[in-house]
Amino acid sequence: MTKKLIVGNWKMNGSLATNAGLLQALLAGLNDDAIAVADVALCASSPYLAQLQTLLQGTALGWGAQDCSAHDSGAYTGEVAAAMLRDFACRYVILGHSERRQYHGENDDLVAQKAQRALAAGITPIVCVGETLADREAGRTEFVVKRQLSAVIHAVGHCASEIVVAYEPVWAIGTGRTATPEQAQAVHAVLRSQLKAASAHSSRNRILYGGSMNAANAAELLSQPDIDGGLIGGASLKADEFLSIIASCP
Ligand code: PEP
């Protein structure tokens, strides 16, 4: 069985002081059993990456960012290049989160270019895909997630096995409404076959579920055959809850 991957998406939350407290609590609570069953990482806002690097270097916790530019460098005010994230030893970068697709107009092509840049910088992209409620009700879930993933697969070519995919139904993010384990598994199975068709090394791909995962529902979701971990928003801001999710990994 693939080792699970549990990633906290802190979104635009935190401060130097609260981050330090949260990291201290997580490091204190992360025991050998947890580390044996899951790789764990936290994705913070860019200004805090230096803090994560300082406090987490040499620990079992990895870290990453929540976005990167589709460009290498140059006149792109406000953007952060993947190579800059590498300077802070980021292992991961979340790309194409539905909040970026929705509030920043990111489309499949842009997300695909960002994934290329991340891989070129030696950072693992966590590519988010997911349908809206309207898509689901119109029976378009499979079509939408396959289209979103396909753009990235085509752009990254032979590196397709190096990406992490996060299935995040938009209607489940931050709403307290979770996909049932059966609903999530069904979409993960679709994504798995797409990844298998794209690369002979697809056993390296991990497919995470995200959308109101918490201590109460994690075990059932994480026991599904094609759910290789979780991308956790709100619950990653509470040390106890995040640690319980990690401990739920089978
Ligand atoms: C997310 O933002 O990636 C997410 C899954 O959020 P939440 O867990 O709060 O639904």
Domain boundaries, the chain: 4-247
Is this structure's pTM higher than 0.90? Answer: yes
Ligand-binding site membership of 171 (annotated): no
128 Cα nearest atom in ligand 1: 3
Atom in ligand 1 nearest the alpha carbon of residue 230: 5
Higher confidence at residue 115 or residue 176? Answer: 115
Give the Cα separation of 64 and 39 in Å (integer).
13
Q: Quote the ligand 1 centre to 74 CA distance (angstroms).
A: 32
Res. 58: pLDDT tops 80: yes
Is 213 near ligand 1, meaning CB less than 6 Å away?
yes
Return the best residue to mutate from 5, 7, 9, 177 for the ligand 1 pocket (most ligand atoms within 8 A of CB). Answer: 9
Question: What is residue 34's predicted lDDT score, i.e. its pLDDT?
Answer: 86
Q: Give the lowest-confidence range in 35-39, 85-89, 124-128, 165-169.
A: 35-39
Question: What is the C-alpha to C-alpha distance for residues 14 and 77, in angstroms, rounded to an integer?
Answer: 23
162 confidence band (pLDDT: 50, 70, 90): very high
The CA 52 to ligand 1 mean position distance, Å, reads: 20
| Domain 4-247 homologous superfamily, CATH | Aldolase class I (3.20.20.70)
| CA proximity to 165, closest of 204, 135, 200 | 204
Range list of H helices, the chain: 16-29, 32-37, 49-56, 82-87, 98-103, 108-120, 133-137, 141-156, 181-198, 218-222, 239-247
